[in-house]
Structure 1
Amino acid sequence: MSDAHLPSAGGRALSPATGAPGAGRPLTAGLLLGVLGVVYGDIGTSPLYAARASLLLFGPEIGRADILGVLSMIVWALILTVTVKYIVFILRADNRGEGGILALMALAMRAARDERGRWLVALVGIAGASLFFGDGTITPAISVLSAIEGLKVVDPAFEEFVVPLSVAVILALFLVQYRGTGTMGAVFGPVTAVWFAVLALLGLVGIAQRPEVLEALSPHHAVAFAAAHPLATFVALGSVVLVVTGAEALYADMGHFGRRPIRVAWLCFVLPALTLNYFGQGALLLGDPAAIANPFYLLAPEWGRLPLVFLATAATIIASQAMISGAYSIARQCIQMGFLPRLIVRHTSETEEGQIYMPQVNWGLLAGVVILVLSFGSSEALAGAYGLAVTGTFLCTSTLAFLVFRRRFGWPLPFVVLVFGPLFLLDAGYFLSNVLKIPQGGYVPLIIGGALFAMMTTWHRGRELLFARFRQDSLPLRSFLARLPHSRTIRVPGIAVFMTSQADYVPNALLHNLKHNKVLHERVLFVTVLNEDIPAVPPERRREVTELAPDIHRVIIRYGFQESPNVPRELEQLRAEGVAWDAMQASYFLGRETVVAAVVPKMSRWRQWLFGLMSRNAVPATEFFRIPSDRVVELGVRVAI
């Protein structure tokens, strides 16, 4: 049974020039609002905690040179990591309009020169995807906590309510996921636009009080700070990187909006607003170092702090929603590319196939987020856990991008090294600095990412061994068809659809059916679902139909990693290709494999146990491929690996 899998770029039109969905759409205010709400929600909430976390290292006696040095590091992190790396270069690496770590991995795998190279590239992509889920667990926790902590600034008496209110907001957010993001999405853009406008306004007010803070725009302050305090600079990098969390979303969401709206929104709106706010917080600290307690909320006038808490909470909910939706999308891509077993995928929109809800992913994230909030209790404590997942994903992206731009796009090696070498070193500096925070919470994304990495590699390896065993034990289809006219097999009315992952071999379900029932249907279809390393397969390449013998056809159905399989819908189209099809006469035959240990196992015992556990808990093929359950015959097969 093919583990072909999932989601969907739906029927979005592709621009002939770039292949990006919606690339030809005019740049409208509505489109830019959508970009603000979906793409920049996460990075837009970083001012709540990033500047404070970066400057806390120096305590309440922080000096002017320290403030200007760290501010300079912050603004140049935004310029180098987000503007140069992602906006200028990484957005060029689209996989037929789609972005994200797995889309980049698919491009890099095509550029690999041999099977070993492809597997190494896959490992980098799996590592990046695993760390993404670690990031996805921490983002809602730290974002919501940092927003509601503003209540302590309004009145210290509210401190005991911060954690319970944070848990309540998080529970409400995850419990409404099944309804889809369509209704909520209508207000995401305007709310986020107001949020960025308030960030810019608060920053301008602070800068007006201390305009000398603008000196930090010069990188020489960062260089001087690093020269004077090399160890402190290295440690501070682990917190400075918090200002660019969410940068990966620029690339991951490229398929929804196209690269131009993302670039325009960043350069004209988001980057100026973030820079102004960070400088405003720095200006406040220049005048009152004690404001390090919470420079974001103390930047606002006293009468505006409570409304700001509500606006910040709304902004963090939007940021969390974007991360949750991204987790669904990445999980679906992992399934479709064969790195995770089948999971439940529910479509929450009748028109947008990309809007999905995955209950197992949702409840897993909810459990992780609530545990983090209760365990750490504050955004300051949780900041130690945050950076490792983000910087690990940055490193994976830079590694894959180097390979794609060199081999896929044919850039000269010196130019690729000149561009991505310094960016890789910067990412490595971020990552190594965050390694120091492992005892303070950095172990959290490592545990989450490590567990998911083990699951993905185990599933991928287990399926490879399973398919190899099928090929070894099965009868070649050509031989079976050659013998069929000379056999005494009874043909009965109806259509038999045999789902098989190996298009050139006889499905075990057919052999077992012949062995036990001694009959074969008048019309037979061997259906194989294949996954391709592109977002969406064009309609003209969706189905490949081959007549193998009279009334016996092989049907190969192809899906991209952004698409959800629907086998009955595709089989309905066979009439147009001259194949007699009647859904009411069709019976689907599926093999249900029970994995057992071989005499000489090819996987370690713990991997065999994990693979068996994942296999038993995978969503049934009937549900995943949308096959009517009342027309299915399942035949059990024991497979030794």
Structure 2
Amino acid sequence: MEDGSRLVKLSLAALGVAFGDIGTSPLYAIRECFYGEYGIAVTKASVLGVLSLIFWALLMIVTLKYLVFILRADNHGEGGVIALTALVKTAGAKAKSAGNVLVLIGLFAACLLYGDGMITPAISVLSAVEGIRIITPLFEPFVIPLTVVILGGLFLLQHRGTARVGILFGPVILVWFGILGFLGACEIIRNPEVLRSILPWYGFEFLLMNKMHGFLVLGAVFLVVTGAEALYADMGHFGKRPIQWTWICLVFPALALNYFGQGAVLLARPEEAHHPFYALVPPWAMIPMVILSTLATIIASQAVITGAFSLTKQAIQLGYLPRMRTTHTSATQMGQIYVAPINWLLMVSTIGLVLGFQSSSRLASAYGVAVTSTMLITTGLFYVVARTRWGWNRPAAGLLCGLFGAVDLAFFSANISKILHGAWFPLAIGGIIFTLMLTWERGREILSDQLKDITMSFFEFKKNLELNPPQSVRGQAIFLTGNPYMVPAALMHNLAHNKVLHSEIAFLHFKTEDVPRVPNLEKVEVEKLGGGFFRIIAHHGFMEEPHIEKILSLAREQGLEFKMENTSFFLGRERLTLGKQSRMSRWRAAVFRFMSRNALEAATFYEIPTDQIIEVGVQLEL
């Protein structure tokens, strides 16, 4: 009984987060098939054909691909393309070069999700607000300003978090799906002929009859599954079962009924193709429906924005982005965080998209390429995981992933034509962020190599101390180091200038593992090096935040008696210059230096008390 109650609670919570994006697609998906850039004529054959393609897209991509198979590829319970890439990274250890290429491809797929995070709030909220002009054409001038105000308010309130209003997300989306299904069912009862489109040959017949035009309409059909990747990414918050049961028992039936209902409207009244969703709504319910639609799209946008914050946090922990201030906005939900630079980037871009495109129909013409690219890459990464980690034979893995890949490729190809209509924007955003990540990783690698040259191993350092022992002062000091087996440059410089050493010194190295979280029992390694020296290696997952106080607390359990209040922390402050024979191009070196200057200080990131920090300058060349 308790397990059933917990499943219901998690399922309701998943409704408000995981299914918000895919649940608001009915606002614009059918419309774009018949009224958008590549809209097809509203005939009985085309309506049944499009509905068949939509039904089987939901069944093949969401139900079969993601909920049955992709959700199996969890990284210690966490999902999403970053977690999947981490699985591939560990699996590709034997074939290092191939593994590195796959990791880069997975990283690029993750970067594309930032573009998706910009366009989803824009198209969702705008499509909902456009309902006011259906109430009366007099409201037409207010559509864009109202959309901008709603989006601006949404981003401005992000720093306060969603903990207080988050409890309402599930019930609101539950009502939303209930009304979606009810409105669709009412129209289906009036015209049950639309249910024939469940048969797949109506879709095949549509593609054969309409040739290239029919193929391009697939770009609009794809809009019904654009939230599928979010289901995988949110698995860590809710688990597989709540997501699977919620989809099967509520979301899929409600969406199918609504899409079939919109099709029934078009069969009876083809002139409603400009907004078939609101054609389902009785005139007396139009104002409440516009309000509910707007609330649903705001919730869907919130989920996408939170996903972008989580993605940024993972990228920072894996060493692909500089440290940024991450604020927890909930005392109980670890996944609710706020990252200011990402929030402002999303806000400016999202509002810019609304002002630039002016309508949800034009935005739909730019939507899909980034998402189909991510889905195609996910299929490829899943094949590697199935072969290398699960031991599937080549025919089984190839047949399944070949089927998914063929569907993904068809949708990807149909969406390619959108590049000239604005789809270049999310691709460009993804490309820029991908370049920044590679630049940061490469820059840190160059600096790490230099630090190796100006320091020495602990064995060499200890021999030098025996030959020329320095003055020892009573006290405890911790030196943060990027390489636990080399003496930190800060210690070398401190010894060279001050000629003294503390009686107890620990080298502390933070290591991010390719898993979401590391158990406390495995978090800290403490090694006595002799002569008052210790080595601490702190392991943490890419979903965790390393805090110095917790590390020292776990280290004390292993016999390291360093007290937080009595310890001095030595950090190296890097001064970067451009060398004559730089290993980076000048523009990338300039970008890296800018990112480095604006990175959050290590003391703040690891929550080290500022009055116990001693910084030692180190000059390095890029």
Q: What's the TM-score once normalised by structure 2's chain length?
A: 0.97
| Partner residue of 1:89 out of 48, 69, 88 | 69
Judged with a 3 Å threshold, the aligned counterparts in structure 2 of structure 1 residues 351 and 59 are, in CA distance, closer, same or farther, namely closer
Alignment partner of 1:71 is 2:39 = no
Q: In the aligned structure 2, how far is the partner of 1:170 from the partner of 1:73? A: 32
2:11 aligned residue: 32
2:401 aligned residue: 420
Q: In the aligned structure 2, how far is the partner of 1:494 from the partner of 1:361? A: 41
1:316 aligned residue: 297
2:33 aligned residue: 54
Q: In the aligned structure 1, how far is the partner of 2:534 from the partner of 2:233? A: 39
Q: In the aligned structure 2, how far is the partner of 1:498 from the partner of 1:615? A: 20
Cα displacement (A) at 1:212: 0.5
Cα displacement (A) at 1:534: 0.2
1:499-538 to structure 2, matched below 5 A, reads 499-538=480-519
| Partner residue of 1:265 out of 246, 252, 261 | 246
2:21 aligned residue: 42
Note if contact 1:592-1:634 (Cα within 8 Å) is conserved in structure 2: yes
Judged with a 3 Å threshold, the aligned counterparts in structure 2 of structure 1 residues 290 and 314 are, in CA distance, closer, same or farther, namely same
1:228 aligned residue: 209
Q: Runs ≥4 in structure 1, deviation > 3 angstroms?
A: 23-28, 57-61
Cα displacement (A) at 1:27: 4.9
Cα displacement (A) at 1:438: 1.0
- Residue 335 of structure 1 aligns to which amino acid in structure 2? I
Q: In the aligned structure 1, how far is the partner of 2:426 from the partner of 2:142? A: 27
- Residue 34 of structure 1 aligns to which amino acid in structure 2? A
Note if contact 2:173-2:296 (Cα within 8 Å) is conserved in structure 1: yes
| Partner residue of 2:224 out of 243, 249, 253 | 243
| Partner residue of 1:461 out of 437, 442, 450 | 442
Note if contact 2:324-2:599 (Cα within 8 Å) is conserved in structure 1: yes
Alignment partner of 1:130 is 2:111 = yes
Cα displacement (A) at 1:569: 2.3
- State the SS of the aligned residue for 1:469: helix
- State the SS of the aligned residue for 2:74: coil
1:87-236 to structure 2, matched below 5 A, reads 87-112=67-92, 113-236=94-217
Cα displacement (A) at 1:363: 1.1
Q: In the aligned structure 1, how far is the partner of 2:499 from the partner of 2:535? A: 22
- Residue 131 of structure 1 aligns to which amino acid in structure 2? L
CA RMSD of aligned residues (A): 1.5
- State the SS of the aligned residue for 1:558: strand
1:490 aligned residue: 471
Cα displacement (A) at 1:597: 2.6
Cα displacement (A) at 1:26: 5.7
Q: In the aligned structure 1, how far is the partner of 2:51 from the partner of 2:346? A: 33
Q: In the aligned structure 1, how far is the partner of 2:607 from the partner of 2:334? A: 15
Note if contact 1:27-1:261 (Cα within 8 Å) is conserved in structure 2: no
Cα displacement (A) at 1:193: 0.3
Judged with a 3 Å threshold, the aligned counterparts in structure 2 of structure 1 residues 111 and 61 are, in CA distance, closer, same or farther, namely closer
- Residue 88 of structure 1 aligns to which amino acid in structure 2? V
- Residue 42 of structure 2 aligns to which amino acid in structure 1? I
1:600-611 to structure 2, matched below 5 A, reads 600-611=581-592
The 10-residue stretch of structure 1 (627-636 or 553-562) with the greater mean CA deviation from structure 2 = 627-636
User: Which segments of 5 or more consecutive residues in structure 1 lack a partner in the other structure?
Assistant: 1-22
Q: In the aligned structure 1, how far is the partner of 2:564 from the partner of 2:414? A: 60
Q: In the aligned structure 2, how far is the partner of 1:44 from the partner of 1:226? A: 26
Cα deviation digits, residues 489-540 of structure 1 (max 9, x gap): 1111221110001111111111111122121111111000000000100111
Cα deviation digits, residues 387-439 of structure 1 (max 9, x gap): 11111110111110010011111111111111110211211121122110111
1:581-592 to structure 2, matched below 5 A, reads 581-592=562-573
Cα displacement (A) at 1:24: 7.2
Cα displacement (A) at 1:133: 0.4
Q: In the aligned structure 2, how far is the partner of 1:25 from the partner of 1:562? A: 28
2:330 aligned residue: 349
Percent identical among aligned pairs is 47
1:276 aligned residue: 257
Alignment partner of 1:80 is 2:60 = yes
Judged with a 3 Å threshold, the aligned counterparts in structure 2 of structure 1 residues 544 and 108 are, in CA distance, closer, same or farther, namely same
- State the SS of the aligned residue for 2:87: helix
The 10-residue stretch of structure 1 (219-228 or 25-34) with the greater mean CA deviation from structure 2 = 25-34
Q: What's the TM-score once normalised by structure 1's chain length?
A: 0.94
Q: In the aligned structure 1, how far is the partner of 2:400 from the partner of 2:613? A: 55
Cα displacement (A) at 1:576: 2.3
Cα displacement (A) at 1:375: 0.8
Q: In the aligned structure 2, how far is the partner of 1:640 from the partner of 1:28? A: 55
Cα deviation digits, residues 598-618 of structure 1 (max 9, x gap): 332222222212111111111
Cα displacement (A) at 1:177: 1.1
Note if contact 2:452-2:486 (Cα within 8 Å) is conserved in structure 1: yes
